[in-house]
Structure 1
Amino acid sequence: MRFFSRNRNVSTADRDEHKVARTALVRRLDFFLMTYVCVSYCMKYIDQQAHSNAYVSGMKEELHFHGNQYNWVGTFFSIGYTIGTIPSQFLTARFRPSVIVPIFEITWSILIMINAAAKNVQLIFGMRFLIGLFESIAYPGFVSVLASWYTPAELAKRVAFLQASSAAGSIGYLQAAIYKGLNGSHGLSRWRWLFIIDGIISLPIAITGFWLIPDTPKTSRAIWLKPHHLEEAEERMKEIGRAPKGTLTIGKVIAVFKEYPAWLIMLCYPPCILAGQAISYFNLYLKSNPSGHKFSVYQVNLIPTGGQALQIVATIVSAALSDYFQARVAMIWIVAGIGMLGHILLSVWDIGFNGQIAGYMLIYCAVGSGALLLTWFSELCSADAEVRTLVIGLANGIGYAWISGFPFIMYPASQAPHYKVGYQMGAGFYAIAITGCTIMALLVRRYGLPYQNVPKSHDRIRSGSSPETGRDEEEKTQGVEEAVNRLSAGSTR
Structure 2
Amino acid sequence: MDKNSDRTKDPEIVAIATSVSSRQHGTKVSLRKRIQNVVWDTFDYSPEERKLVSKIDFFILTWASLAYFSKNLNSNNLSNAYVSGMKEELVVVGNEYQTLTTMWTIGYVISQIPSQMICTRVRLSLWCPSWELLWVLVTFATAAVKTPHQLYVCRFFVGLAEGTFYPAVHTVLGGWYTKRELAKRACIFFGSAFIGSMFSGYLQAALYTGMNGRAGLSGWRWLFIFDGVITFPMALWGYIALPDLPSTTRVFWLTQEEKALALQRIVNSGVKLDEPVTAKCIKRVLSGWHFWVYTAYYTENIGSYMNLWLKSLNRYTTPQINTYPTVTNAVTIVTTLIYGWTSDALQLRSPIIYFSLTVCLFAAVNLAVWNGIPFGLKWASYYLTGFAQGSGPVFMTMVNEVCAEDSLERKLILGSTNSIA
5+ residue gaps, structure 2: 1-12, 23-42
Partners of 1:117 and 1:173 in 2: CA distance:
22
How far the C-alpha of 1:238 sits from its partner, in A, is 0.9
The CA deviation string for residues 352-374 of structure 1, in whole angstroms up to 9 with x for no partner, is 22211111111111111221211
The CA deviation string for residues 291-339 of structure 1, in whole angstroms up to 9 with x for no partner, is xx72111111111222111110101101211111111111111111111
1:248 paired to 2:260: no
How far the C-alpha of 1:165 sits from its partner, in A, is 1.2
The CA deviation string for residues 36-69 of structure 1, in whole angstroms up to 9 with x for no partner, is 1000111011122222111111111111111111
Q: 2:16·2:46 contact (CA, 8 Å) conserved in 1?
A: no
2:322 match: 301
1:303-382 equivalent positions in 2, closer than 5 A:
303-349=324-370, 350-382=372-404
TM-score, normalised on structure 1? 0.75
Secondary structure at the counterpart of residue 98 of structure 2: helix
**AA partner of residue 364 (structure 1):** G
1:391 match: 413
Secondary structure at the counterpart of residue 322 of structure 1: helix
How far the C-alpha of 1:173 sits from its partner, in A, is 1.9
The CA deviation string for residues 118-170 of structure 1, in whole angstroms up to 9 with x for no partner, is 11100011111111111111100001001110011111111111111111111
1:283 paired to 2:307: yes
1:43-62 equivalent positions in 2, closer than 5 A:
43-62=70-89
**Residue of 140, 146, 149 corresponding to 1:119:** 146
Secondary structure at the counterpart of residue 345 of structure 1: helix
Q: 1:3·1:18 contact (CA, 8 Å) conserved in 2?
A: no
**Residue of 217, 226, 248 corresponding to 1:219:** 248
**AA partner of residue 104 (structure 1):** W
**Residue of 133, 137, 143 corresponding to 2:170:** 143
Q: 1:262·1:391 contact (CA, 8 Å) conserved in 2?
A: yes
**AA partner of residue 287 (structure 1):** K
Secondary structure at the counterpart of residue 195 of structure 1: helix
5+ residue gaps, structure 1: 11-15, 400-493
2:27 match: none
Q: 1:149·1:233 contact (CA, 8 Å) conserved in 2?
A: yes
1:86 paired to 2:113: yes
How far the C-alpha of 1:185 sits from its partner, in A, is 0.4
1:471 match: none
Partners of 2:19 and 2:66 in 1: CA distance:
41
1:463-474 equivalent positions in 2, closer than 5 A:
none
1:77 match: 104
1:268 paired to 2:297: yes
2:189 match: 162
How far the C-alpha of 1:5 sits from its partner, in A, is 5.9
**AA partner of residue 338 (structure 2):** V
Cα 1:18–1:85 shift into 2, 3 Å = closer
**AA partner of residue 350 (structure 2):** V
Q: 2:103·2:156 contact (CA, 8 Å) conserved in 1?
A: yes
Partners of 1:32 and 1:55 in 2: CA distance:
35
1:423 match: none
Identity %: 37
**AA partner of residue 295 (structure 1):** Y
How far the C-alpha of 1:75 sits from its partner, in A, is 0.4
2:212 match: 183
How far the C-alpha of 1:18 sits from its partner, in A, is 6.2
How far the C-alpha of 1:19 sits from its partner, in A, is 2.2
Secondary structure at the counterpart of residue 288 of structure 1: helix
Partners of 1:63 and 1:88 in 2: CA distance:
33
Partners of 1:77 and 1:43 in 2: CA distance:
16
1:209 match: 238
1:28 match: 55
Secondary structure at the counterpart of residue 373 of structure 1: helix
**Residue of 141, 156, 160 corresponding to 1:129:** 156
Secondary structure at the counterpart of residue 2 of structure 1: helix
Partners of 2:349 and 2:283 in 1: CA distance:
27
How far the C-alpha of 1:248 sits from its partner, in A, is 2.2
Cα 1:283–1:2 shift into 2, 3 Å = same
**AA partner of residue 224 (structure 2):** F
**AA partner of residue 59 (structure 1):** M
1:98 match: 125
Partners of 1:49 and 1:252 in 2: CA distance:
38
TM-score, normalised on structure 2? 0.88
1:367-446 equivalent positions in 2, closer than 5 A:
367-399=389-421
1:67 paired to 2:94: yes
Aligned residues: 385
**AA partner of residue 235 (structure 2):** A
**AA partner of residue 47 (structure 1):** N
Please report the RMSD computed on the Cα atoms of aligned residues, expressed in angstroms.
1.9
Q: 1:183·1:189 contact (CA, 8 Å) conserved in 2?
A: yes
**Residue of 267, 278, 302 corresponding to 1:238:** 267
Q: 2:295·2:416 contact (CA, 8 Å) conserved in 1?
A: no
Secondary structure at the counterpart of residue 233 of structure 1: helix
Partners of 1:5 and 1:69 in 2: CA distance:
57
Partners of 1:152 and 1:34 in 2: CA distance:
17
Partners of 1:367 and 1:17 in 2: CA distance:
31
